[in-house]
Structure 1
Amino acid sequence: MRTLFSDEVHVAYRQIYVCSDGIHSPEDSFAGQRAGLCGGAVPGHLFLLTGTHTGSVPITVELHETEPPLDADLWEDIVEVSFRPVSDKIELAEWDSRWYPLPLSETTYRVRYHCRGMDEARTAVGDAREPAVEEYLLRFWPSPPAPDRIVKETSQAAAYWHEYARKQPPGPTPEEQAQAERQAREEEERTALRREMDAWGGRLPSDRLRDVQGKLRGIQGYPMGLVGLDAALVHAIDAADPEEQRALARWAAHRACETAGLSEIDWVARGLAELNRGEPYSPPLDDPQRLRDAAFSDARIPHPHDGSPGLPQVAAFAALFDAAAPDPLKAALDALLAAAVTHDTDWPHLFAEVRRTFPATAIAPEAERSDRQ
């Protein structure tokens, strides 16, 4: 036998707990039991009742290798329940106060709760100088699950709590609990599915779209990204073949630079030609810092604010870099979003031009269906 705990603990509302997953209500803890005093209906939790409403009571917790002697003549009230921790963190807990670790294994135990002096404690006036009028003993030993039982009943307090327990309706069976959990998971999945479909314009994105979304879902000033502007176009571009996606990326970069007034600048024109040929960019487009220096120093680039390039020009340079991305789908989507930024509120005309120039994007692909909808 090992003594796991032996001391006074503070009780409030006549409650102490053994917890491995949090504290549960008395209704749940005694659901379906005939025995009061020790509620064991919630897996991994014991709800212990005392005579004292608020104050300190002595309690001892013991762990036995086998069933201990009953000792019925030493205690006024005794009940038994089964208990199995649901985590490796098991504690004796005060009501909204301190917790004391109990070194128990994650196995099934039989628990015997012994009580003495409950009636006296219900009417006594607490005095720290007087010996406690009540005492409690909690014994654990390994044992298969079994129904709760009243071993001995003497006090009026015990009779009251036994009657309370018998009034609590049984909790769900393991099968019912499993079904409820399964239904909750399915509902969470349906909710997540509906949320995702709403975010992608009423249909599910392909795995490819999920992989490349990046800036697709939002950049500065365009928090909803390309999906928020025209979800049907996004899905149509996703359905296009890689060659058409690459062509669209190049086209978007050209339109962005033209709209931003950059196409006639020699080193930008050279970059667009290199993009068309699939070649690496030459300076200053080959390095972000060199590009930044060129963008600030070249007087031919519009600088509407404090000598800095304006948003259309910044977006056009972004379209150049986006269009050269290795993944053709990402290149097309990101470059088109950057081009839309250069067009500001005129982006619907840009997207109409996309559909005319690339007929495959004018046909919305059939929405994917899901049995979970």
Structure 2
Amino acid sequence: MRTLFSGEVHVAYGQIYVCSDDIPSLEDSFAGQRAGLCGGAVPGRLFLLTGTHTGSVPITVEQHPTEPPLDADLWEDIVEVSFRPVSNRVQLVEWDSGWYPLHLSETSYRVRYHCRGMDKARNAAGDVGGPAVEEYLLRFWPSPPAPDRVVKETSQAAAYWHEFARKQPPGPTPEERAEAERQAREEEHTELQQEMDAWGGRLPSDRLRDVQGKLRGFQGCPKGLVGLDAALVHAIDAASPEEQRALARWAAHRACVTAGLDKIDWVARGLAELDRGEPYSPPLDDPRRLRDAAFSDARVPHSDDGTPGMPQVAAFAALFDAAAPDPLKAALDALLAAAVTHDTVCPHLFAEVRRTFPATAIAPEAERSDRQ
């Protein structure tokens, strides 16, 4: 016999757990059981109930090589359930704080939960170091699965929880649980594959996922830069923040040159400020001032309707985007804006990026999921 744990644990809502993965819910733990007090309906988890609502209770956990003596005369309430860990990380877990390793192997066990003093402690608060009002013993031994059972019932608390358990509808069968897990894996695999397809055949990094919803979009380019050159997007993501910032500045210059704005004094001044890392001076410091300048300055090329054309709108966007605090977002947004100034027909622009910034010339190796 091995003592896996002996001491006081803190309980809240009269609950302690043995877990080899997540903490179970009350209803699921007792689904289809006849016995209350120890819920074992969820694989890899036990839900233990105590008389004390909130406080500390003494409990001993033992592992036996074979079925131990019943000791029915020493305990008021005894129940049995079956248990099989789903990982090698089995712990005795308190409701809201501590956990204690139990070092149980991944094999099938029979579990006997012994309780004494539940009625005296019911809804009372237990104090650490005070006299023990109640006591618990949990014993494990190797055994094939078998139905749960009430071995001994004495307390009103036990009677209440046995009645509760018998009102719970049966949980899923092992076959139903296996099918649900299979479907969940299949759905996850499908979602991952869809994400890979959306990102050019590889999963995005966490950084790309973080900025994805914040990236600028342009009419006529619904997939953004990923739809134009996904490999380049991943390569930019893998570049250093300094390289990303340099690329953002380069893209702003390239956009302004393509849109015919770089010779306008206040645009040229803004590009110089961008290169120096300085805040923009008017009119680039305020969107409304910029709009007024873009409409009123005859040097800004306009469409037939008198508004700045799309290349010019995109170039102004590139100026703003290149100054964004996040260097990855700045690089991706500014480069997309530069691509829009080329009417998004721009393999030569992306080839120029790769020549100018060698770190972007080779996309990182694709990270495919092994989950099936």
In structure 2, do the counterparts of structure 1 residues 158 and 350 end up closer, same or farther at CA, with 3 Å as the change threshold? Answer: closer
- Checking the alignment, whether the CA contact within 8 Å between 2:17 and 2:48 is kept in structure 1 is yes
Return the alpha-carbon distance in structure 1 between the equivalents of residues 274 and 162 of structure 2: 80
Return the alpha-carbon distance in structure 2 between the equivalents of residues 303 and 105 of structure 1: 70
What corresponds to 1:29 in structure 2?
Answer: 29
**Residue 4 of structure 2 corresponds to residue 4 of structure 1:** yes
What corresponds to 2:343 in structure 1?
Answer: 348
User: 1:110-166: per-residue Cα shift (whole Å, max 9, x none)?
Assistant: 110011111111165756676212111111111111111111111111110001111
Decide which moves more: 67-76 or 98-107: 98-107
Instruction: Using the TM superposition, give the Cα deviation of residue 63 of structure 1 relative to its aligned residue in structure 2, in angstroms.
Output: 1.0
What corresponds to 1:104 in structure 2?
Answer: 104
Return the alpha-carbon distance in structure 2 between the equivalents of residues 72 and 304 of structure 1: 86
Q: Which runs of 5+ in 2 are unaligned?
A: 204-210, 231-253, 259-267, 276-333, 349-372
Name the larger-Rg structure.
1
SS of residue in 2 equivalent to 1:41: coil
**Residue 160 of structure 2 corresponds to residue 165 of structure 1:** no
User: 1:141-200: per-residue Cα shift (whole Å, max 9, x none)?
Assistant: 111111111111111111100011111111111211122122223333444455555x47
Decide which moves more: 226-235 or 27-36: 226-235
- Checking the alignment, whether the CA contact within 8 Å between 1:52 and 1:118 is kept in structure 2 is yes
In structure 2, do the counterparts of structure 1 residues 115 and 304 end up closer, same or farther at CA, with 3 Å as the change threshold? Answer: closer
Letter of the 2:90 partner, please give it. Answer: I
Letter of the 1:117 partner, please give it. Answer: G
Instruction: Using the TM superposition, give the Cα deviation of residue 348 of structure 1 relative to its aligned residue in structure 2, in angstroms.
Output: 2.7
Return the alpha-carbon distance in structure 2 between the equivalents of residues 227 and 126 of structure 1: 62
What corresponds to 1:147 in structure 2?
Answer: 147
Return the alpha-carbon distance in structure 2 between the equivalents of residues 23 and 146 of structure 1: 23
- Checking the alignment, whether the CA contact within 8 Å between 2:53 and 2:125 is kept in structure 1 is no
- Checking the alignment, whether the CA contact within 8 Å between 1:227 and 1:234 is kept in structure 2 is no
- Normalising by structure 1, what TM-score? 0.56
Give the number of aligned pairs: 251
In structure 2, do the counterparts of structure 1 residues 160 and 347 end up closer, same or farther at CA, with 3 Å as the change threshold? Answer: same
- Checking the alignment, whether the CA contact within 8 Å between 2:56 and 2:127 is kept in structure 1 is no
User: 1:218-254: per-residue Cα shift (whole Å, max 9, x none)?
Assistant: 9xxx97799846999879xxxxxxxxxxxxxxxxxxx
In structure 2, do the counterparts of structure 1 residues 260 and 28 end up closer, same or farther at CA, with 3 Å as the change threshold? Answer: same
In structure 2, do the counterparts of structure 1 residues 306 and 145 end up closer, same or farther at CA, with 3 Å as the change threshold? Answer: same
SS of residue in 1 equivalent to 2:4: strand
- Checking the alignment, whether the CA contact within 8 Å between 2:82 and 2:145 is kept in structure 1 is yes
Q: Which runs of 5+ in 1 are unaligned?
A: 211-217, 236-256, 262-301, 310-336, 354-373
Letter of the 1:53 partner, please give it. Answer: H
- Checking the alignment, whether the CA contact within 8 Å between 1:36 and 1:163 is kept in structure 2 is yes
- Checking the alignment, whether the CA contact within 8 Å between 1:36 and 1:162 is kept in structure 2 is yes
SS of residue in 1 equivalent to 2:24: coil
Return the alpha-carbon distance in structure 1 between the equivalents of residues 89 and 48 of structure 2: 18
What corresponds to 2:117 in structure 1?
Answer: 117
User: 1:80-103: per-residue Cα shift (whole Å, max 9, x none)?
Assistant: 011111122211121112111112
What corresponds to 1:188 in structure 2?
Answer: 188
- Normalising by structure 2, what TM-score? 0.56
- Checking the alignment, whether the CA contact within 8 Å between 2:54 and 2:124 is kept in structure 1 is no
User: What is the root-mean-square deviation in Å for CA atoms of aligned residues?
Assistant: 4.2
* Matched-pair identity in %: 68
User: 1:42-88: per-residue Cα shift (whole Å, max 9, x none)?
Assistant: 11111111111112211111111100011111111100011111122
